[in-house]
């Protein structure tokens, strides 16, 4: 408890020097004002949560820890809650890394989100599980016992779970086939939501996916809408859609008015179903932008402001979670790599732990966001 109070005081004290250190020059009055509050405080003032993904190994990085403590109100495990970490081998349960993050969250009074109970994509399920042939009863029993053990272990700490991740094929819009859907069909998904509700009755439950505003996402968006409608119709206890918010293939300057209109249409349909929105994995890819850092930072910040202005204008949007806070640790350094060997700049802080213009864009979007309950 004391550590949490210390953390809040530290946030107030450190906030003022943040951008002064980050920009290397005399900070403008605007940036000083923007730096005075943490992203978490600005978000909380609007009834939102701001947080980040964190890996257990980052607990050993004092600079990363400092940023998380200063800026965030929530963390989500980058890989530690996934089946490929918890149960990489059959019957060899590995809760150590997730427990370490959970302990850190508790000590620092950070909320903890859960990602993800079932990553419904064979590429991200361990081979032993992909190779297990279940009948319907067996699949149901496996889901029940796994979800009870994992969601139960972190209940009531984890306030929200991604119950299912990426179940829709992004090309066809159809349900991806897994060892569970082969046995149970769509019921594998509905059943997972019921199992999560039973194991973690206080947590909100989300379906999470990477459909986006980008070109070529129309089929993916339609598939996700169909999936959400079916979950609702079948009575699954679903509260929210997790919109990962990676922009991977189109660059930040390609968020055109036309694409924004189409994207808004999708989000309108989701909230029309009575679902909340969580922005679960925000970052911005710069694979195909030129190497100039200032130019990339500017385009990324402009896009961040536009995207968040739209998404936070929905009172149903409750969480804004970044997929990492420091460039050098971003998964995008290896996913869709650049052709030159220049480091990508997809997150809020650069690799020297200095705030970038993306931070100011998030500050501005949070300040502009309407208050939600």
> Which residues here bind ligand XIL, judged by CB under 6 A?
78-79, 165, 210, 244, 281, 331
Residues with Cβ within 8 Å of residue 160, at least 6 apart in sequence: 113, 114, 203, 204, 205, 206, 239, 240, 278, 319
Q: Which is nearer to ligand XIL, 283 or 350 (CB)?
A: 283
Q: Note the helical H segments in 47-131.
A: 62-71, 83-86, 96-107, 127-130
Q: How far is the CB of 332 from ligand XIL (least distance, A)?
A: 9
99 neighbors 80 (Cβ within 8 angstroms): no
Residues with Cβ within 8 Å of residue 359, at least 6 apart in sequence: 19, 22, 34, 39, 348, 349
Q: How far is the CB of 116 from ligand XIL (least distance, A)?
A: 6
Cα separation, 230 vs 190, whole angstroms: 9
State the distance between the two ends of the chain, measured CA to CA, in whole angstroms.
26
Count Cβ neighbours within 10 Å for each residue of 68-88 and write b for 16 or more, e otherwise. Answer: bbbbbbbbbbbbbbbbebbbe
Q: What are phi and psi of 72, to 5 degrees?
A: -110, 150
Question: What separation in angstroms does the CA of 28 have from each of 85, 168, 330, 357?
Answer: 45, 46, 29, 13
Q: Which is nearer to ligand XIL, 321 or 365 (CB)?
A: 321
Report strand pairing: 74-77 vs 111-119: parallel
Q: Which is nearer to ligand XIL, 124 or 186 (CB)?
A: 124
Q: Which is nearer to ligand XIL, 249 or 331 (CB)?
A: 331
Residue least distant from ligand XIL (Cβ):
331
Q: Which is nearer to ligand XIL, 79 or 313 (CB)?
A: 79
Q: Which is nearer to ligand XIL, 35 or 224 (CB)?
A: 224
Cα separation, 256 vs 140, whole angstroms: 44
Q: Which is nearer to ligand XIL, 31 or 85 (CB)?
A: 85
Q: Which is nearer to ligand XIL, 329 or 360 (CB)?
A: 329
113 neighbors 321 (Cβ within 8 angstroms): yes
Give which of 311, 300, 227 is closest to 276, Cα–Cα: 311
Q: How far is the CB of 136 from ligand XIL (least distance, A)?
A: 27
Q: How far is the CB of 16 from ligand XIL (least distance, A)?
A: 32
Q: How far is the CB of 221 from ligand XIL (least distance, A)?
A: 16
Q: How far is the CB of 247 from ligand XIL (least distance, A)?
A: 12
Q: How far is the CB of 281 from ligand XIL (least distance, A)?
A: 6
Query: What's the token pair of residue 40?
Result: 């978490």
Q: Which is nearer to ligand XIL, 134 or 278 (CB)?
A: 278
Q: Which is nearer to ligand XIL, 55 or 143 (CB)?
A: 55
Query: What's the token pair of residue 337?
Result: 């790599």
Q: How far is the CB of 335 from ligand XIL (least distance, A)?
A: 8
Q: How far is the CB of 9 from ligand XIL (least distance, A)?
A: 32
Query: Which SS3 state, helix, strand or coil, does residue 113 take?
Result: strand
Q: What is the DSSP letter of 349?
A: B
Q: How far is the CB of 324 from ligand XIL (least distance, A)?
A: 7
């Amino acid at each position: 408890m004391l550590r949490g109070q210390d953390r809040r005081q530290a946030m107030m004290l450190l906030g003022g020097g943040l951008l002064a250190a980050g920009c290397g020059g005399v900070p403008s009055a605007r940036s000083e004002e923007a730096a005075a509050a943490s992203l978490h405080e600005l978000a909380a003032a609007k009834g939102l949560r701001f947080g980040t993904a964190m890996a257990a190994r980052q607990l050993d990085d004092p600079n990363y820890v400092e940023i998380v403590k200063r800026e965030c109100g929530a963390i989500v495990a980058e890989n530690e809650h996934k089946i490929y970490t918890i149960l990489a081998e059959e019957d060899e349960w590995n809760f150590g890394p997730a427990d370490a993050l959970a302990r850190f969250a508790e000590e620092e009074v950070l909320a903890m989100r859960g990602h993800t109970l079932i990553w419904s994509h064979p590429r991200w399920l361990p081979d032993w599980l992909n190779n297990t042939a279940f009948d319907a009863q067996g699949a149901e029993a496996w889901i029940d016992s796994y979800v009870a053990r994992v969601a139960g272990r972190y209940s009531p700490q984890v306030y929200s779970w991604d119950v299912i991740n990426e179940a829709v094929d992004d090309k066809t819009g159809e349900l991806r086939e897994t060892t569970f859907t082969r046995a149970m069909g769509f019921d594998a998904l509905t059943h997972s939501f019921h199992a999560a509700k039973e194991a973690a009755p206080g947590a909100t439950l989300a379906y999470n996916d990477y459909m986006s505003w980008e070109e070529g996402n129309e089929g993916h968006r339609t598939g996700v809408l169909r999936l959400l409608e079916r979950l609702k119709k079948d009575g699954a206890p679903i509260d929210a859609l997790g919109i990962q918010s990676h922009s991977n293939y189109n660059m930040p300057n390609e968020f055109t008015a036309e694409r924004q209109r189409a994207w808004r249409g999708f989000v309108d349909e989701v909230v029309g179903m009575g679902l909340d929105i969580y922005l679960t994995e925000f970052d911005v890819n710069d694979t195909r932008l030129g190497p100039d850092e200032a130019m990339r930072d500017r385009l990324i910040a402009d896009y961040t402001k536009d995207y968040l202005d739209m998404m936070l204008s929905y009172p149903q949007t409750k969480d804004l979670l970044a997929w990492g806070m420091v460039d050098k640790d971003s998964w995008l350094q290896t996913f869709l790599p650049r052709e030159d060997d220049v480091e990508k700049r997809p997150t809020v802080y650069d690799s020297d732990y200095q705030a970038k213009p993306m931070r100011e864009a998030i500050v501005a979007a949070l300040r502009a966001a309407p208050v939600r309950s």
